Structure 1
Amino acid sequence: MEFLPEKCKKHFNALDITEQTAREIMKRFDNEINLGLGAKTHKKAVVKCFPTYVQDLPTGQEKGKFLALDLGGTNFRVLVVTLDGGNFDMQSKIYAIPQEIMKGACNMLFDHIASCLADFIKEQALEETDLPLGFTFSFPLTQMGLTKGILERWNKGFNVSGVVGKDVVQLLEEAIRKRGDIKIQITAVIGFIVGSNACYVEKVEKVELFDGDKSKPYVIINTESGAFGDDGKLNFIRTEFDKEVDKKSINKGKQINEKLVSGMYLGELVRVTLCKLTKEKALFGGKINDKLKKKDLFTTVMISEIAADAAGIFDNTKKILEEEFDYPNATENECAIVQLVCEKYIQRAAHMCAIVLASLINRIGESKITVGVDGSVYRFHPQFHDLMVKFMTPLVNPGIEFDLMLSEDGSGRGAALVAATAASALAPSE
């Protein structure tokens, strides 16, 4: 960091996580998992560890057509998956959720979802088919059964009124029934997505609050790990920039871990850091222009594009600074600083993801574990996968081999498979 003014180095050093610090965070996260699983401690736990009631895993012999609805952001995906033993076919379509619906009334959201479902079903000529639906609802959800989930709170920029405390399956069923033009049976709701959250397979005997079928040995747990730190357990690694981004978010003080790792926040963390460095005259002659002042203008896509510049090459960095932020004359030294800011936030995000996954891998304890990972940062950042492996390796217990695998459309395909296994379990035996 010889190109960085001495007075600015403190900001970069604050983003480093040593292995000792990682092990302390891991210890705290593991304790939070225990609190979330405990019958007496669950209510106050910030890492909720909701049982999903998913206990029957796919066998590979499922047959039929199954719908999946994957809702967890400004866009959502509808899929139809055709299973025939080992054969697999999938058709899907992405639908947008306008801002006015994301922050509107309950009926607006679920009527919109039902309308999009109807549009998709008609496009696929499935109007006369009774379709089991797996519903991935990627928000904090207390599951009361495989087809009942109560919304705890909104995140990811959503603030729809009249949904918190309600069963989202019932709300969607009502919107579908009100239309009367499609045949859908919701057979499962799942409240997780890997990325800013994680799920894992836990032994039923360790899940004290589980009131499902205890004759089956395992149940999938939705950790809601994005909330890790909401009680202050991560304050010792949070910077002034983390606090600034959190303060201006729609859910101040909530989803603290998510705000360290999610693509929704990384670009904004970079932007506020660049503003501070400019104010300290390390960048752009100390001049903060209107573009750099604009919230959320620096995106995580830009971070990935900057990371694609080879060492000592600044083509993408210069292009972004000129075209997106009106700094046409950025020096190589300034480009190097911008690259370093992006690199530091990506490294920290990868380290935090590694800590969570290593902790869950150690809990599972099998000799070989494959982790399905989804999310735009993992998918598009050229170094994120390798960084996660690097940081996980010393944290995973000896004797355990692990692989990280990109799970494209993972939550959508997973919802369809859960719908298939649930439909099979509900079917009368021959």
Structure 2
Amino acid sequence: MTRSITNSTNITSQTKYKFPEAHELCKEFVLSKKVMNEVIERLTKEIKLGLAKATHDKATVKCFVTYVQDFPSGQERGKYLALDLGGTNFRVLMIELKSQTDVKIISKSFGISKELMTGPGQMLFDFIAECLSKFCTEHNVDKKKEIPLGFTFSFPLMQQGLDRGILKVWTKGFICSGVVGQDVVQLLDEAIQRRNEIKIKIVAIINDTVGTLMACAFYKCNCRIGLIVGTGTNACYVEKTQNAEMFEANHERTPGGKEHMIINSEWGAFGDNGVIDFLRTPFDKQVDEGSHNPGRQIYEKCISGLFLGELVRLILVDLMQKGAIFANQESHSIQEKGKFLTRFVSEIETDISGAFDYTDCVLNEIGIRNASDKDKACLRYICQAVSTRAAQLTACGLVCLINKMDVKDVAIAIDGSVYRHHPRFHDMLYINMKRLLQKDIEFQLILSEDGSGRGAALIAAAATNSKMNSK
């Protein structure tokens, strides 16, 4: 789904209010074209380090090979299961492909308790296998017939095959023991075998960026990038296989290999080695120091939904201590880490100039009453500064990938809560990409519908068809 571009992207839009203290604090969030081009250049270098065998181990942007080389033809048909695990909920999906325009999806979400997120890995995978079995029973899946499953696992993986992925590190609050360094496909398969109730063949493991790309590629043959901007951020892209030096088949020198490979960049870790410290603000450093993984995922902490609200909160606390906003107001929520949600940023920026309906709701929720219109306008300015930089940095990443692929026409599949719900993010992304790309390059930003689920099933379908055709 494409979107039209509005003119609602200028954070310096005219207002009758002046707030010099906020301008002073937020000026470091304003990125010039020169700074953005420097970000592109540095990310390009980091990606090359991640692709190269000699430097991969020490690279911060890992550029993992995904082993996904079969793209949807649009002719895939049949029923496939998909499992989408990437946060505090996971989903099981049954997807029936009847045609490009007739895709039937049945899904069910299951919550993951804190106990499961922090306990033994076997307990987590046994629970997932139990939910898979329940889902198949509820929807009358033939338990005697083996059904292919695509597994979306949205954590950093070192893949050793299309159906083999080694967890490098847990993120998003998961710390299950006995999983890091292990093949998660094998762990899930063993859990399914322990129940011995259903016949499931896990044919592919992917992350959500790859699923997002594949779901779009079913309809758009020029889709070459998958992007997530939600709780976290990451992107994958299509690389020449010969450049993916970590792909073992490259070292076998066997002829007849496939020309392209999807690379999972894991770009959230860009900057972990200090290369983007030149644009980080004191508030970015506070967010990092207060996170559960200090010193890691630096780029992600400037962009993603897990951190944007906290950046705004820290700016507000600073201004309130100076008496520059919400004077004589007390808010325990503002003082408490994590209490200014990123959805508040989206809601505040939904207000059109001169109106504060959504802002009033947010302020009421955090316990601030009777704020002046000037303070509300100041709050909106702060939100705009933080979210604009997030979109600009995301644009830098996408421009880097487009330049790396050296293509003139590309579709970019995007998903994630920030992209979906922030009223200006799409527009800011588009406008900044236009500023940074060569004039002759065409691109489309497309909302990928249920990429992490539909995309996993499509990869299962493409992989199954490829195996059948090779026999």
| TM-score, normalising length: structure 2 | 0.88
For residue 227 of structure 1, what is the aligned residue in structure 2? 269
Local SS of the residue matching 2:165: strand
Once the two structures are superposed, residues 329-356 of structure 1 have per-residue CA deviations (whole angstroms, 9 ceiling, x without a partner) of 1110111111111111110111111111
For residue 336 of structure 1, what is the aligned residue in structure 2? 377
Q: Give 1:288 shift.
A: 4.6
Q: Give 1:261 shift.
A: 1.0
Greater RCO (CA < 8 Å, at least 6 residues apart): 2
Q: 1:253 aligns with which of 260, 280, 295?
A: 295
Contact 1:35 1:45 in 2 (8 A): yes
Q: 1:171 aligns with which of 187, 192, 212?
A: 187
For residue 171 of structure 2, what is the aligned residue in structure 1? 155
For residue 78 of structure 2, what is the aligned residue in structure 1? 64
Local SS of the residue matching 2:306: helix
Contact 2:158 2:165 in 1 (8 A): yes
CA distance in 2, matches of 1:44, 1:288: 47
Contact 1:362 1:397 in 2 (8 A): no
For residue 409 of structure 1, what is the aligned residue in structure 2? 450
Structure 2 letter corresponding to 1:212: A
Once the two structures are superposed, residues 143-166 of structure 1 have per-residue CA deviations (whole angstroms, 9 ceiling, x without a partner) of 011111111111122222221111
Once the two structures are superposed, residues 201-240 of structure 1 have per-residue CA deviations (whole angstroms, 9 ceiling, x without a partner) of 0011111221137611000000001111111111111111
| TM-score, normalising length: structure 1 | 0.96
Query: Which of 308-317 and 5-14 deviates more?
Result: 5-14
Q: Give 1:304 shift.
A: 1.4
Q: Give 1:119 shift.
A: 2.0
Q: Give 1:4 shift.
A: 4.6
For residue 242 of structure 1, what is the aligned residue in structure 2? 284
Structure 1 letter corresponding to 2:249: G
For residue 275 of structure 1, what is the aligned residue in structure 2? 317
Structure 2 letter corresponding to 1:125: N
CA distance in 1, matches of 2:326, 2:470: 71
For residue 203 of structure 1, what is the aligned residue in structure 2? 240
Q: Give 1:5 shift.
A: 4.2
Counterparts of residues 304-343 of structure 1 (less than 5 Å): 304-322=346-364, 324-343=365-384
Distance 1:428 1:399, change over 3 A: closer
Local SS of the residue matching 2:83: strand
For residue 27 of structure 1, what is the aligned residue in structure 2? 41
Sequence identity (%): 47
Query: Which of 389-398 and 222-231 deviates more?
Result: 389-398
Q: 1:73 aligns with which of 64, 87, 102?
A: 87
Structure 1 letter corresponding to 2:464: A
CA distance in 2, matches of 1:428, 1:339: 56
Unpaired runs of at least 5, structure 2? 1-11, 210-226, 251-255
Local SS of the residue matching 1:17: coil
Structure 1 letter corresponding to 2:34: Q
Counterparts of residues 336-375 of structure 1 (less than 5 Å): 336-375=377-416
Q: Give 1:276 shift.
A: 1.3
Q: Give 1:108 shift.
A: 2.2
CA distance in 2, matches of 1:158, 1:412: 21
Unpaired runs of at least 5, structure 1? none
1:184 equivalent to 2:200? Answer yes
Q: Give 1:98 shift.
A: 1.6
CA distance in 1, matches of 2:59, 2:243: 16
Contact 2:63 2:264 in 1 (8 A): yes
Q: Give 1:313 shift.
A: 0.8
Distance 1:9 1:122, change over 3 A: same
Contact 2:21 2:324 in 1 (8 A): no
CA distance in 2, matches of 1:336, 1:362: 38
RMSD over aligned Cα, in angstroms?
Answer: 1.7
Q: Give 1:295 shift.
A: 2.1
Distance 1:4 1:102, change over 3 A: farther
Local SS of the residue matching 2:116: helix
Structure 1 letter corresponding to 2:197: D
Once the two structures are superposed, residues 153-201 of structure 1 have per-residue CA deviations (whole angstroms, 9 ceiling, x without a partner) of 1112222222111111111111111111121110001134232000000
Q: Give 1:99 shift.
A: 1.9
Contact 1:280 1:286 in 2 (8 A): no
Q: Give 1:286 shift.
A: 5.5
Structure 1 letter corresponding to 2:285: K
Once the two structures are superposed, residues 17-50 of structure 1 have per-residue CA deviations (whole angstroms, 9 ceiling, x without a partner) of 1110000000000001100111101110000000
Q: Give 1:77 shift.
A: 2.0
Contact 1:279 1:288 in 2 (8 A): no
1:424 equivalent to 2:440? Answer no
Q: 1:110 aligns with which of 105, 125, 134?
A: 125
Local SS of the residue matching 2:369: coil
Q: Give 1:426 shift.
A: 2.5
Local SS of the residue matching 2:249: coil
CA distance in 2, matches of 1:5, 1:63: 59
- Give runs of ≥4 in structure 1 deviating > 2 Å: 1-10, 84-87, 191-194, 286-289, 425-430
Contact 2:19 2:378 in 1 (8 A): no
CA distance in 2, matches of 1:45, 1:429: 36
Q: Give 1:243 shift.
A: 1.3
Distance 1:85 1:248, change over 3 A: same
Once the two structures are superposed, residues 382-430 of structure 1 have per-residue CA deviations (whole angstroms, 9 ceiling, x without a partner) of 1110100011112223321000000121121111111111112233767
